[in-house]
Structure 1
Amino acid sequence: MLKNNKNIPLNSMADDFSQGIAVDKISIKQSDYTTEEQYEQAIQSHRDEGYTFHILEKDSLVIEIDFQKYKIKAPAVVYMHPNQVHRILDFTNMVVCSLLL
């Protein structure tokens, strides 16, 4: 069966990273989103053009990867290959390091 990927946004690394690699560490709380619109945009399903590795250092999260739900508790490593559909469904106060290639 063919999948319809046209409605799922693709995050292109060329748009954000001129060298093709990025390392980032963020601490984010649900309360950081001041409007419902910001929160909805942040948890929208999307795909990334490159490989991503995420080291969850604090908290736990519920994530959907290729339409399957996972609960991940720190410490953990999450790997996603290019074009894999994913979105965060729930978290409270997470700290994550990311490597994007």
Structure 2
Amino acid sequence: MTRWFRAYWDDEGVWFYFEVDADGWVSRQVEFRGPDGIPIAAASLTEWQQAQAAGQLGQYEATYGLTAESPVQEWDEYEPIALTAAEFEHVWNRARQYLRSDR
């Protein structure tokens, strides 16, 4: 079952938004930094794998970042706040639009 949640990492000043599968692996991840909530990442594990296979990983990561490399149940000291699928899609679309722009 897919779950969506967000969590704030105080030491980095970043809001993380996650879409995770039943095993806790992150399938999509969005990050917003600072008080203005500037998008700094909106990565998809599937897209990342496709970019890697196509030899375009550097370009993908430079534009969209990457997803967490361990299941969420292995993380310490974060307090997840549940989201709906629609709430996650809203932040996903906002971040992707920003990251695709010339800024």
When normalised by structure 1's length, the TM-score is 0.21
**Which one scores higher on RCO, CA 8 angstroms, separation ≥ 6?**
1
When normalised by structure 2's length, the TM-score is 0.21
Structure holding more helix per residue: 2
